[in-house]
A and B are shown apart, each in its own frame.
Chain A
Amino acid sequence: MTDQKKQSRDTINLTINDVVQEFEIGDHFYQVKPYDTLAETLRETLGLMGTKVGCNQGACGSCTVLMDGIPVLACMTLTVECDGKQIATIEGLQDQTTGKLDEIQQAFIDHTAFQCGFCTPGIIVASRALLNRNPSPTEAEIKEALSGHYCRCISHYHVVEALLTVAGKSRK
């Protein structure tokens, strides 16, 4: 390998939960492969296991993270597509200094808005995005925002209650 090639090696930068991470693209085990998904990079390279892969088919919403504030499916997003992007995962929601939980996390605890809990990080992350752009969503807006999230235990009713509480509304 020539020096020039070494210098021009492919790297990408992602800001993940406010920390800048530089990745080298390549086929070695320490590199991000061009076909690695964001879910794989978060979970396997960075150990951010809070992002859950449910179906790995882009259908269940479990792996939802925020890219520049917009919910995306980490199992359907290639890491190489994320160069220069801000990524927020469930691990970034809690206040990193004080440990205080996000109000949505607290509401999910208060309402037991989960059963098995596997789909919960994805739902909370998507809910955060909803409340960021619309601090007082209606019940219908909440349901629409979460319509891509599979919850087999049927905690939907408790999730909606929890989010309406955060939104400062009581369910009619």
Chain B
Amino acid sequence: MKFQKEYRYIGKATPRKDAVGIVTGKAKYIEDVELPRMLHGKVLRSPYPHALIKHIDTAGAEKSRGVKAVLTHKNVPPWMTGTPRHVRVLDEKVRYVGDAVALVAAETEEMARDGLALIEVAYEQLPAVYDVEDAIKSDAPQLYDAFPRNLLPLDAPIFGPNTLSAIELGDVEQGFQDSDFISEGTFSYENIPNPLPIESPGVIAEWSEPNHLTIWSATQCASWHRYMMLSKMGFPDIRTIGTQCGGSFGSKNYSAQPMLYAAALAKVTGRPVRVCFSKEEHFGAFVLRLGSRFKGKVGLKKDGSVKAISGEWLVDTGAFSDQAQAQVAVGLGEAQLMLRCLNWDLKTKLVCTNRCASGIVRGFGGQELESALLPIFMHAMEQGDIDPTEFFKKNYVKPGEGYYWRDGNWWVSKGKDYSEALENGARAFGWAEKWKGWLKPTAVKNAKRVGVGVSVHGNADVGEDVSEAYVRLNPDATATIHACVAESGMGQRSNLCKMVAETLQISLDRVSITPPDSLINPFDFGLVGSRGTYAVGSAVISAADDAKEKLFKMAAPILKTAPDDLDSEDGIVFVKGEPDMGVPWRKAMGMMQTCTGFGRFEPDYSLPNFLALFVEVEVDTETGKLDLLRVVTATDVGQIIDPPSLEGQLYGSLGAAGMDTAIFEESLLDKNSGHMLNLNMMDYKWRSFTELPRFDNKILETSHQTHRYRAVGVGEVSTSPGPSAVLMAASNAVGKRLDGYPLTPDRILQALGKINPVGNKEIEK
């Protein structure tokens, strides 16, 4: 059922609206914004993973050249972050190496750093805990008085009173009795990778009145800096402005820590203050992916259907998190989308430990759970010799089937059957020829062994949350979109312009979009999940329709007809069928007037999208090196809006703490000192231009029941299947079940019994 209509812009590659700015270096990122009299803020950080500040002396720093303010736990504003709100901006206690101890604002960054060096701190060190299961023991060091055994509440009402925190359904005992194959065990996805956008997080804060705060932030989601931060900061009036953003991948949805530091320093100095984290701070003191450990049991029938899932999901937030409860809720929802099963008993524990905080990372709970849960399923599939492509095809949620979503409500899918998309991907990949069975290599070339793997991820976030937009028609036949949408790489600002140009039938260069500024735009939840295409798209399309309707009411008396009889193309309103008898917009509305429409999107969680990812890897059994040879992604987006932007989202499954977290990406935490050992871009490994696998995206376009362009996004689902697919491929290549991420040479050689793990005893992941 291909949607046949030929569009003017939709589906065609068009230059990004901000392209010239980007290629000429004129696009303004947060470090390119200069405000008059702006100060620079720097943070003194703890060298200990867990300690009490017994004494702190700031006298030297206060007298230091150029220093305008020094803040400690004694004089910082009483704002609270974390969920539930329990983390002070600066506290008497530090809870990870890199935790903030003091803030300095000075005329230059150098002066601020000089000031930091003069602050004297005496600490009383406390024992620290890094492992989720150690942390929940009764005698474990406790991070917060309010949370015995370091267990954080799961009932934080982020998604309402019934926020999903467990899946309890049917009768698991019966389910296991009915199963032919049962697999039980523990699997961890705890390499706490960093999404690592190239631009480190940064914020500028300025108070223009006692209660009016303006924030400039490098963000993917300008409105969150207002709506998520209001309650943390005692409800000041916050205006947020998104700058061009040098990548986010979830992590810079809102930059709570730099924002609180900059706002606190701006408040006491009465001047604008910029806090931009260094790369080292970005690595060790911003936000990492949640740690995820699944301990449990799954049961399968011979035909590959899932009969029972029970166990415990242990989620490690590090020192704190603002969104872990939300990630748990969404992750549990996503697991059901991939694993249709009538009998569930999956409970969650949310645990804090003495390492850097966790934040939002592309995959948002779903990738974390899937990467730990699917390896247990792999073992069951192996017992039954079940082809994983058949397993995934059988077990994802089909139209008419239901699932609990993040709000705790039962939703029934009115989405698509993705079988064709998955089969299309398998064909392109050559799965039937390459799959030789579990723990069997596809090919052996001396010491090198090739293996294949696949995974599927689903989400119901394409229509999550509210979007509002205005579209303003101007007499010069241009249109302006008012929507609070930032640009962190997805090209969605341009895509919204395409949708409006198509709807109004005016040329794309006549459509512009306002800056992502919460003052001048209505509410938008932002580019989170995969919601940009459907949710935000629906709002701007409705707003354009509404504006057009108003324009036709203005033009109807002039053209002596009813508004319903009118159409518009290239800035001319005309009676349908008589395009030569029209009037230009300027005549229809008058030169000194504009015509504005409003559009609003209401959340819709009934449209799951899925993406399959096939990988072929080569493992050198002598060196342990794993090379990614081939990647195929397969999905159905309904209608492509912009081909290169869509490809970008799919290629992005390599980076952004995606597929490569199964291969080499990890934050190395030394569990003796609590220090991270790879706080730089040499020691934190990343994929270079010389290591690109052959990569194909097989995209179907069978129309979805969304807005008139029938499209859905894929940004969130693209990274999630990667880690488990790579694990499967590597296990098949070497003929052994590999037991953890990432599959660095040492881990592979250990699994092959070729090296002794003793040398690595001190450094655990």
B-binding residues in A (CB < 8 A): 29, 43, 48-57, 59-60, 62, 89-91, 93-94, 101, 105-106, 108-112, 114-121, 124, 142-144, 146-160
Contacts and interface: CB of A to CB of B under 8 A. Distances in A.
Those 7 A-B pairs whose CB atoms lie nearest each other, nearest first: A50-B25, A118-B246, A115-B489, A116-B489, A117-B22, A59-B681, A112-B644
B16 interface: yes
27 contacts: A48-B25, A49-B32, A55-B198, A55-B681, A57-B681, A60-B681, A108-B19, A109-B19, A112-B648, A114-B22, A115-B489, A115-B645, A117-B244, A118-B197, A118-B246, A119-B246, A120-B23, A143-B689, A144-B689, A150-B198, A152-B195, A152-B247, A152-B249, A153-B655, A154-B651, A158-B647, A159-B689
Contacts of A57: 279-280, 680-682
A62 B681 CA distance: 12
Contact of A109 (B20, B278, B687, B692): B20
Given A109-B20, A112-B13, A112-B491, A146 B689 contact: yes
B714 to A, nearest CB: 14
A27 B765 CA distance: 45
A117 B489 contact: yes
A147 B689 contact: yes
A163 B124 CA distance: 57
Contact of B24 (A105, A110, A119, A159): A105
B27 interface: yes
A48 B648 CA distance: 28
B387 interface: no
B198 A62 contact: yes
A76 to B, nearest CB: 12
B502 interface: no
A112 B682 CA distance: 28
B245 interface: yes
Interface of B: 13, 15-16, 18-29, 31-32, 108, 195-199, 244-249, 278-280, 487-491, 642, 644-645, 647-648, 651-656, 680-682, 686-690, 692, 695
Nearest to B246: A118
A117 B246 contact: yes
Contacts of B32: 43, 49
A91 B25 contact: yes
Contacts of A60: 198, 681
A147 B23 contact: no
Given A151-B198, A154-B655, A156-B651, 20 more contacts: A49-B25, A50-B26, A57-B279, A57-B681, A91-B24, A91-B25, A94-B24, A112-B644, A115-B489, A115-B645, A115-B648, A115-B652, A143-B689, A143-B692, A146-B689, A150-B681, A150-B686, A154-B656, A158-B644, A159-B689
Contact of A148 (B199, B656, B688): B688
A80 B133 CA distance: 54
B692 A53 contact: no
B197 A105 contact: no
A63 B244 CA distance: 17
Contacts of B488: 116
A142 B491 CA distance: 25
B20 A155 contact: no
Contacts of B651: 154-157
A109 B15 contact: yes
B681 A109 contact: no
Nearest to B651: A154
A49 B19 CA distance: 16
A52 to B, nearest CB: 7
Contact of A112 (B19, B244, B689): B19
Contacts, number: 173
A110 B20 contact: no
B24 A117 contact: no
Contacts of B653: 154
Contacts of B199: 52, 54, 116, 118
Contacts of A146: 689
A143 B246 CA distance: 22
Nearest to A155: B648
A136 B642 CA distance: 29
Nearest to B680: A57
Contacts of B280: 57
B140 to A, nearest CB: 35
B18 A117 contact: yes
A109 B648 contact: no
Main secondary structure of the interface of B (DSSP, over half): loop
A93 to B, nearest CB: 8
Most buried by B among A51, A105, A142, A146: A105
B24 to A, nearest CB: 6
Nearest to A109: B19
B688 A109 contact: no
Given A109-B16, A112-B645, A146-B689, A118 B247 contact: yes
Nearest to B13: A112
A124 B21 CA distance: 13
A29 B111 CA distance: 12
A90 B29 CA distance: 15
Given A54-B279, A146-B689, A109 B656 contact: no
Given A49-B25, A118-B198, A157 B692 contact: yes
Contact of B197 (A111, A116, A148): A116
Contact of B196 (A50, A119, A152, A155): A152
A74 to B, nearest CB: 12
Contacts of A159: 689
Nearest to A90: B25
Given A111-B644, A117-B22, A143-B692, A53 B16 contact: no
Contacts of A153: 247, 489, 648, 652, 655-656
Contacts of A154: 648, 651-656, 687
Given A54-B198, A59-B680, A117-B244, A108 B690 contact: no
Contact of A119 (B198, B249, B279): B198
B279 A56 contact: yes
B489 A56 contact: no
A143 B195 CA distance: 23
Nearest to B280: A57
Contacts of B244: 116-117
Nearest to B195: A152
Contacts of A148: 688
A82 B645 CA distance: 39
A49 B28 contact: yes
Nearest to B642: A112
Contacts of A124: 23
A146 B690 CA distance: 8
B688 to A, nearest CB: 5
A115 B199 CA distance: 13
A160 B23 contact: no
A169 B23 CA distance: 22
Most buried by B among A48, A110, A157: A157
Contacts of A157: 647, 651, 692, 695
A168 B15 CA distance: 21
Contact of A121 (B25, B31, B655): B25
A132 to B, nearest CB: 18
A105 B26 CA distance: 13
Contacts of A56: 278-279
Given A60-B198, A120-B22, A52 B29 contact: yes
A26 to B, nearest CB: 14
A66 B746 CA distance: 39
Contacts of B21: 117
A112 B652 contact: no
Contacts of A50: 24-26
Most buried by B among A54, A101, A159: A54
A154 B195 CA distance: 12
B698 to A, nearest CB: 15
Contacts of A117: 18, 21-23, 27, 244, 246, 489
